[in-house]
Amino acid sequence: MSYVSIQDRIRAVPEEYLDEVSEYIDYVLFKVSKKKKEASEGTSRYFGAIRKPIDGMEIQRSMRNGMI
C-alpha cells in the first residue's frame, strides 16, 4: 500500500477518530523499533556478552599444569 492511498484513507476518517488513528500509528512504530532492537541483539540476549575473549591455549595450559 502506498503513502498516497493511506493518506486518502486517513482523510476519510471522521475528525473525532484521528486521535485513535494517531495512537495506532504510534503502536505500529513501537513494534517496528522493538523488532529492530531484538534483531540487533542477536544471541547475546540468550547467552550474554563475552567481555574478555577466551584464550583456548591458556585454558589448556592451566588444565595441564594443574594436573601434574
For residue 25, give the H/E element and its range.
helix 18-41
Per-residue confidence (pLDDT) for residue 62, from 0 to 100: 86
Divide the 68 residues of the chain into consecutive groups of 10 and give the mean pLDDT of each group: 92 95 95 80 64 79 78
The gap from C-alpha 65 to its chain's centroid, in whole angstroms, comes to 44
Task: Tell me which residue range forms the domain holding 10.
Answer: 3-67
Per-residue confidence (pLDDT) for residue 27, from 0 to 100: 96
Number of domains in the chain: 1
Hey, how many other C-beta atoms are within 10 angstroms of the C-beta on 59? Answer: 10
Query: What is d(CA 68, CA 65) in angstroms, rounded to the nearest whole number?
Result: 6
Q: What is the pTM of this model?
A: 0.53
Q: Do 8 and 1 form a contact (C-beta atoms < 8 A)?
A: no
Q: Which amino acid is at 51?
A: R
